[in-house]
Amino acid sequence: MTKNFTGLPTQHLHDAVQNTIRIFNEYRLDKKIYPGSIYKVFSTEAGGIFYDLQYFKLDDGVQISVKAGKIFGKITEAEAVTLVQNLLTRIDAVLSGKIIMTADVANRDVYKSGQTVTGLFALIKLIVAIVAIIMALMVLMR
């Protein structure tokens, strides 16, 4: 799905996307820029949803192309359209000033790690700690 923004520089649109990620704390931006200047935005709440964003400079503004997908499995066309429209609506709200960014929101990291990955690492740390305690107890009992 594409959307044109007339009279808007590419950098302003990219800034609006980053501010949308900061305001709606359910997205994160991938640090890597993919071939074709594609930015990946991952949903931190929905399992495996990602968005491919690509900017195209026009004579009178900029165009954004957004595609939704799933890391595991396939996404239905209706689900993809709904997800993309929701993201574009949020970007529009940030650009129009309907949503004001506060100072604490402005300091959020757009490259935050996914909650799933963080939870997995915490679980692994817990298991390693339990194993270490059990091994220490076994050594002490000898």
Please indicate, yes or no, whether residues 61 and 118 belong to a single structural domain of this protein. no
In this model, does residue 129 exceed pLDDT 90? yes
Please indicate, yes or no, whether residues 12 and 67 belong to a single structural domain of this protein. yes
Question: Which pLDDT band, with edges at 50, 70 and 90, does 120 fall under?
Answer: low
Domain encompassing residue 125 = 113-142
Number of folded domains in the chain? 2
Please indicate, yes or no, whether residues 15 and 70 belong to a single structural domain of this protein. yes
- Output the pLDDT for position 81: 92
In this model, does residue 87 exceed pLDDT 60? yes
Please indicate, yes or no, whether residues 106 and 118 belong to a single structural domain of this protein. no
Q: Model's pTM, two decimal places?
A: 0.69
As a whole number, the mean pLDDT across the chain is 84
Count of other CB atoms within 10 angstroms of residue 15: 13
Output phi, psi for 14, to 5 deg. -65, -40
Please indicate, yes or no, whether residues 31 and 81 belong to a single structural domain of this protein. yes
Please indicate, yes or no, whether residues 100 and 45 belong to a single structural domain of this protein. yes
Please indicate, yes or no, whether residues 124 and 101 belong to a single structural domain of this protein. no
- Output the pLDDT for position 135: 93
In this model, does residue 117 exceed pLDDT 60? no
Of 79-88, 95-104, 132-141, the one with minimum mean pLDDT is 95-104
In this model, does residue 3 exceed pLDDT 60? yes
Output phi, psi for 109, to 5 deg. -85, 130
